[in-house]
């Protein structure tokens, strides 16, 4: 298989045939912001935070095949502004109260807001949903008020754990992640599932019981720099 080349913000990127823009960028150490995408899971293209301009056309970098000889724009003011809008939408769609959330400091939604400079008061109305908390399982709790519908748990459970514990139900603004049973305790979920591991849920929706707040402020993920700032180091590994 022959390779191809394209450029992202002036940096030339080599890609293998069949790679997506994001895969090629990751391999080259160029970070493209994303929320619903996660290493090791199939791409979804749902959050749209990885939107880039490929020869001027908007595409999701996680699903778009790497384009031969194309010019891809990634971190332009215009694109980052749209990404900030998308992150704000997610904040306003659910109930994201960072100061009282166990995931604060380890939360990709929060980290993305910092990266995208979401520092002004937001303009959108809060939808303030009232979603139930499922604490039925002995080791895992779900607070779907903080869910951003990224579906990472769904894909991890289906494709890695082979269990299908989670799934989407409903349509439109009512579409949400639900469990395969009356509650989580009545599913096959166990604390060892990849789907409920700390990395898979980007926010504070899937909560591992009895380990909350164990990492002090100063030692949490976002305390070491902006999300994505280690992209180069990861690529060099």
Query: What distances in angstroms separate CA 97 from CA 92, 154, 205, one per listed residue?
Result: 11, 24, 12
Token pair 């970070």: residue: 31
The region of 8-16, 24-32, 134-142, 174-182 touching other proteins under the rule CB under 8 A is 174-182
**In contact, 34 and 87? CB cutoff 8 Å:** no
Would you state the structure tokens that stand for residue 184, as one six-digit string? 């989580």
Instruction: List the alpha helices (DSSP H) in the chain.
Output: 21-27, 77-93, 108-115, 152-155, 231-236
Q: Determine how many CB atoms are found less than 10 A away from the CB of residue 121.
A: 4
CB 165 within 8 A of CB 193: yes
Which CB atom, from 93 or from 134, has the smaller least distance to other proteins? 93
**Part of the chain binding other proteins (CB under 8 A), chosen from 8-16, 83-91, 190-198, 220-228:** 83-91
Q: Which stretch binds other proteins (CB under 8 A): 82-90, 107-115, 190-198, 205-213?
A: 82-90
Restricted to residues 87-126, the positions that interact with other proteins (CB under 8 A) are: 89-90, 92-93, 123-125
Single out the segment in contact with other proteins by CB under 8 A; choices: 101-109, 161-169, 215-223, 227-235. 161-169
Interaction of residue 47 with other proteins, rule CB under 8 A: yes
Q: Is 58 in the site for other proteins (CB under 8 A)?
A: yes
Alpha-carbon distance of 183 to 4, in angstroms, equals: 48
**Residues of the shown chain interacting with other proteins in the complex, contacts defined by CB under 8 A:** 43, 45-49, 51, 58, 60, 63, 65, 81-82, 85-86, 89-90, 92-93, 123-125, 127, 149, 164, 166-175, 178-181
């Amino acid at each position: 298989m022959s390779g191809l080349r394209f450029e992202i913000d002036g940096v030339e990127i080599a890609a293998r045939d069949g790679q997506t823009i994001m895969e090629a960028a990751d391999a080259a150490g160029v970070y493209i912001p994303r929320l619903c995408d996660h290493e090791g899971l199939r791409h979804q293209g749902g959050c749209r935070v990885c939107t880039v301009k490929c020869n001027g056309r908007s595409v999701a970098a996680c699903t778009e095949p790497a384009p031969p000889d194309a010019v891809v724009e990634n971190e332009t003011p215009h694109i980052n502004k749209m990404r900030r809008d998308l992150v704000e939408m997610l904040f306003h769609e659910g109930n994201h109260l960072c100061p009282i959330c166990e995931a604060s400091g380890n939360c990709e939604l929060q980290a993305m807001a910092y990266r995208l400079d979401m520092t002004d008061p937001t303009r959108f109305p809060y939808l303030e949903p009232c979603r139930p908390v499922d604490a039925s399982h002995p080791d895992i709790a779900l607070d779907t008020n903080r869910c951003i519908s990224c579906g990472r748990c769904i894909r991890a459970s289906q494709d890695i754990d082979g269990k299908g514990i989670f799934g989407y139900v409903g349509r439109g603004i009512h579409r949400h992640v639900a469990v395969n049973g009356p509650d989580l305790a009545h599913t096959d979920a166990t604390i060892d599932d990849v789907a409920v591991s700390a990395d898979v849920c980007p926010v504070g929706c899937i909560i591992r019981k009895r380990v909350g707040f164990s990492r002090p402020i100063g030692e949490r993920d976002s305390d070491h720099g902006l999300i994505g700032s280690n992209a180069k180091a990861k690529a060099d590994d």
